[in-house]
Amino acid sequence: MEREKIFKIWLSTVKGIGYKSFVQLMEFFKTAEGVYKAKEIDIFKAIGNRKLVQNIIEAQKLNPFDYIERLQNSKISVYTLEEEEYPKELKNIYDPPPVLYLKGNINLKDNLRIAMVGARNATFYGKQVAQKLAYELSERGITVVSGMARGIDSFSHIGALKGRGKTIAVLGNGINIVYPRENKKLMEQISEEGLLVSEFPLDSPPLPQNFPLRNRIISGLSLGVVVIEAGIKSGSLLTAQFALEQGREVFAVPGNITSAYSRGTNELIKQGAKIVIGVEDILEEFNLREDVQQKIEENLMSSLTEEEKEVYDFICEAPRDIEEIAGYVKIKISKVNAILSSLMLKGMIEKLPGNKYEKKIF
């Protein structure tokens, strides 16, 4: 790791350092190592905040290389804002994290992503919808982004993992801290099959003020945000607000008008959020985005078995019935039925009257 990157990571761990103060210090001292070696009077000239100055002076007593060793031993990757690997979508949001911690499949940061958020004290209906939508998005090769909280967040991650395993959990604490505790196994599974992301240094506790900050990353990483059950003062509505400010799409699942958990989502719909009653409502919003359509089709094609590809290619030529397909690929009708069901679940084909199947337009 480059020496200057090590000191940038060190600077980001100083208590109270955010994007603005990080930039101020870098502009004044030119390098993060310069901040590490700076005198108190010069640091004060740079930022004019005595409490933050004292925090930096205290942090200067620490060895940045020891911290890097901890990260490497824990297989945690770190990207600074200037690096090419840093997710490009986040670079353009207001107040982007100077440093991002990642653990797991770091390639997921380049996938198509949809965020799903909602109430912690979710109803059975909300959990069921979250898991179903996340599963269907994941099956289509779309990565589900959420916040690892109880309720809707957790079931969104679970649904994605039951699909093709594509999910990103954005944490409101250090990436080595499990919160909530009951999500220990889920967090471990995501770190192996998905991706954990945090802007907070190791050992950072899940403080209340961290979660609004986390929410801007959830929306910032995504093409759009789906809100499933939210009270009128829910943090999920803040995520939706961030999404609007960042130019992302906002979707909402309608709920029971007598339920307090649906007041926020129903209000979003009144204000113009797109109603979601199925995964197609999310996908069709991007029909005009050729880059999105192409990426979805590439993801889906990469997930098919050889037999599924053969059947799909045959159907793409013209609508076909089961007998035609079975005769062409020379496999049993029972197996053809299973393949057709899989292709329909992934949204690649649709059934026509007369038991024929044709390619579905993405």
**Per-residue pLDDT tens over the stretch 27-59:** 999 999 999 999 999 999 999 999 999 999 999
In a domain, 93, yes or no: no
The CATH number given to whatever domain includes residue 242 is 3.40.50.450
The pLDDT tens digits for 300-336 are: 777 788 889 899 999 988 889 888 898 888 888 888 9
In a domain, 76, yes or no: no
The CATH number given to whatever domain includes residue 19 is 1.10.150.20
Shared domain check, 250 and 164: yes
The pLDDT tens digits for 2-12 are: 999 999 999 99
Stretch 80-101: mean pLDDT:
92
In a domain, 43, yes or no: yes
Shared domain check, 312 and 190: no
Shared domain check, 161 and 25: no
Q: 3-state SS of the chain?
A: CCHHHHHHHHHHCCCCCCHHHHHHHHHHHCCHHHHHCCCHHHHHHHHCCHHHHHHHHHHCCCCHHHHHHHHHHCCCEEEECCCCCCCHHHHCCCCCCCEEEEEECHHHHHCCEEEEEECCCCCHHHHHHHHHHHHHHHHCCCEEEECCCCCHHHHHHHHHHHCCCCEEEECCCCCCCCCCHHHHHHHHHHHHHCEEEECCCCCCCCCCCHHHHHHHHHHHCCCEEEEECCCCCCHHHHHHHHHHHCCCEEEEECCCCCCHHHHHHHHHHHCCCEECCCHHHHHHHHCCCHHHHHHHHHHHHHHCCHHHHHHHHHHHHCCEEHHHHHHHHCCCHHHHHHHHHHHHHCCCEEEECCCEEEECCC
pLDDT of residue 361: 65
In a domain, 131, yes or no: yes
pLDDT of residue 305: 87
In a domain, 201, yes or no: yes
Shared domain check, 331 and 198: no
In a domain, 225, yes or no: yes
Structural domain including 15 reads: 1-70
pLDDT at 362 over 60: no
Q: How confident is the model at residue 291 (pLDDT cuts 50, 70, 90)?
A: low
pLDDT at 288 over 60: no
In a domain, 298, yes or no: no
How many domains, in total, are found in the chain?
3
Stretch 200-207: mean pLDDT:
96
The pLDDT tens digits for 172-195 are: 999 999 999 999 999 999 999 999
In a domain, 77, yes or no: no
Shared domain check, 347 and 252: no
